[in-house]
Chain A
Amino acid sequence: DAGITQSPRHKVTETGTPVTLRCHQTENHRYMYWYRQDPGHGLRLIHYSYGVKDTDKGEVSDGYSVSRSKTEDFLLTLESATSSQTSVYFCAISPRGEGQETQYFGPGTRLLVL
């Protein structure tokens, strides 16, 4: 998985609790992304980062926040988890730049919100 780890790999939580997912890379890539995957929707971008402390919203950012204090770590926080946020979450990294559009994905975190 291209030097990407995600933690935890599985989590069960209750509605209303905060949840933080971690993505860690060893590739020193500039760009990092958080996606969610749901049946029939493919992968949808939540937030992404283009450098330390530089982040921007994606297609489905409501209810999520992110932080990136180091190049290698990108955190996704669900401020107050809801059942609609039950999903599989994937982190991706990319070097970007000319001819470097490919994104490499981590193994995913399966989140169940009860």
Chain B
Amino acid sequence: QQQVKQSPQSLIVQKGGISIINCAYENTAFDYFPWYQQFPGKGPALLIAIRPDVSEKKEGRFTISFNKSAKQFSLHIMDSQPGDSATYFCAAYNQGGKLIFGQGTELSVKP
């Protein structure tokens, strides 16, 4: 029940395309859903986050879509750029104060 399942494991997108990464969870007590971006050799950095009382949050080219009834959320990267090439992690925060991470998606944006 504490798992967060992320797909796909890897993704190749052409420059200018849309990158979509999906996550699913089981525990309805999760109440905060962040996405982290990680470049090689660096620590993960918060990219965007959403709470379950909204269905969508947009920040620049990055959008989180949240479906509470399906217990799914996704990250959309519009107009993907080579500089977006990184590993992306979804996560869910439980009321015990712990972040549960998905397995990660390695995104490669081809020029």
Contact = CB atoms under 8 A, between A and B. Distances in A.
* A and B: interacting chains: yes
B32 A42 contact: no
A92 B45 CA distance: 10
A112 to B, nearest CB: 15
Given A42-B104, A43-B89, A101-B32, A108 B42 contact: yes
Contact of A106 (B41, B43, B49): B43
A105 B43 contact: yes
B34 interface: yes
A64 interface: no
Contacts of A107: 41-43
Nearest to A50: B97
Contacts of B36: 105
A1 B104 CA distance: 20
Interface of A: 1, 4, 31, 40-45, 48, 50, 58, 90, 92, 96, 101-108
